[in-house]
Chains A and B, each alone.
Chain A
């Protein structure tokens, strides 16, 4: 075994230039694979983090029927006196904070410009413990329950040229018990601008104090959702808390349903899954091309060493030993190519994890396309792990071994006499 490995090792480096080209094709293929996985994982991680920490939090409680109509932003499916449930919700050891919110459809009007947006009425004291909007203020101050004022996304402010201190009119759909929809208009000062990093939030969200919205919408002490923040983003914690809350609210008089951020971001998750699949296909095509390189190199080796194979057979080497020799050679190409690929991909992945990939550098159009696909802006960060490197390495070696099977089999099919006569 060791002798065959030694022989295979020396054979691999026999035609140095060809071997380097083959190594390169394997390592570039695997390096790109690592970069793609690293980037896809990183973007997904960043997107999920943005969804949880600037958009939905971990869990939301809605009045039964609200979730199915959520795209219409209804104001007639509300939870009465939400504070009554806070103590019960906080009994779960993994619940960190709870707040009530109202989501409402609105338009921001500045002179002749009108921009449709999503209004979020939140509790100014609790919200910063749940979402990162307050932390991402880039100008002005946070909202105050005792003072009318709102904060808006920096992207939206840029779109209609607004700044802190400007007074604008918000046209909102007021609450209606029934099918009648009425409008109300409020004049309000912009007290702050935020840049959360989530384009969906920064481009169309206005945030106002809950009390103010309840008054303007004539909603008394009603809210459209209770938002629950957990102590961590762990999936098990999420599922466990969701199940526990589901059981708790199954036994209350008011019909309340529990949804996780996954239910609320199902479209993003579906798109992400599809993208992963199509990227995997592209990567497979890339690796197929690399494996063609290995097959070609090995076939050349079989051809060049035909007489030597005949001699090895004459010395008494059996067909399966010849096959093993060539498979070892393929495996070694895989090992070295994969090591190099992991090194290159690892370095690039590390760079992406630390410095990120600035999408704005590719121009505004590209940035907009990227933002449409992912709730991330400015910089995509990679997420590299040892598991990615290890599985890519193993994958590279296995692909190389598989690619070497055909040439190896071809070598065993040689007739020793014909092989010895080969010039």
Chain B
């Protein structure tokens, strides 16, 4: 059973009187534990696919399955619930809440998820922040951390709720190559340890080199789907 399955998914953006097809009848599936990169040039549809898989957007046509359940026609509240429990996000611009400390940013998804005592939450947050190398930065606010450190917080925030998958839209685009590599290594390490599916979009060759599977898009269609050993 695949974790994600897209069947003939199309997405058309309407800009005034002109229809712009971002995705054209795309079909593929992703298994649990994959470390997958969606590659392609700008405008090829990478972000659109991530948005649809991440339940932030709905396909114009076609079907999206999560654990073999059709989620293409869910309403916004149901999609929010899917995101809350099953999906973690890592953004290119980190998108941490600036008024919260690293600890509070990581704790936030757990609070949203609910059903966990504060004491248990604290242990879990401390553990994961230590794991991403931020033990000494827990009580700093994003503005007091470097880009690499902020992205580590974002990874910890995405991982803490033990989601089925983590989606990362160009996660290293705002980092220098050294920090970018470290972040990718950390993601790969987490993927191996927790068996969480990582799906990230990129057009950076260095990033693609880390991926175990690369789906390359071109003009809204799958151009190549390469699996590595």
Contact = CB atoms under 8 A, between A and B. Distances in A.
A327 B57 CA distance: 26
Interface residues of B, number: 26
Given A308-B95, A417-B51, A315 B108 contact: yes
A14 interface: yes
Contact of A11 (B81, B84, B99, B112): B99
Contact of B97 (A308, A316, A318, A416): A308
Nearest to B54: A314
Given A3-B108, A417-B51, A314 B56 contact: yes
Contacts of B93: 307
Contact of A417 (B57, B81, B82): B57
A10 B100 contact: yes
Contacts, number: 61
Nearest to B94: A311
Main DSSP-derived SS at the A contact region? helix
A318 B77 contact: yes
Interface string B65-98: 0000000000011001111110101010101011
Contacts of A307: 93, 95
Given A14-B99, A420-B91, A420-B95, A315 B83 contact: yes
B99 A313 contact: no
B99 A315 contact: no
A423 to B, nearest CB: 9
Contacts of A310: 95
A311 B91 contact: yes
Interface in B88-131: 89, 91, 93, 95, 97-100, 108-109, 111-113
A316 B76 contact: no
Interface in A268-322: 307-308, 310-319
Interface in A313-351: 313-319
B57 to A, nearest CB: 6
Contacts of A3: 108, 111
Contact of B84 (A311, A315, A319): A315
For the complex of A and B, the 5 pairs showing the least CB-CB separation, nearest first, are A316-B84, A10-B99, A316-B83, A311-B95, A318-B80
Interface of B: 51, 54, 56-57, 76-77, 80-85, 87, 89, 91, 93, 95, 97-100, 108-109, 111-113
Interface of A: 3, 7, 10-11, 14, 307-308, 310-319, 416-417, 420
27 contacts: A3-B108, A7-B97, A10-B100, A11-B99, A308-B98, A310-B95, A311-B91, A311-B97, A312-B97, A313-B83, A314-B54, A314-B56, A315-B83, A316-B81, A316-B82, A316-B84, A316-B113, A317-B80, A317-B84, A317-B112, A318-B77, A319-B77, A319-B80, A417-B51, A417-B56, A417-B57, A420-B95
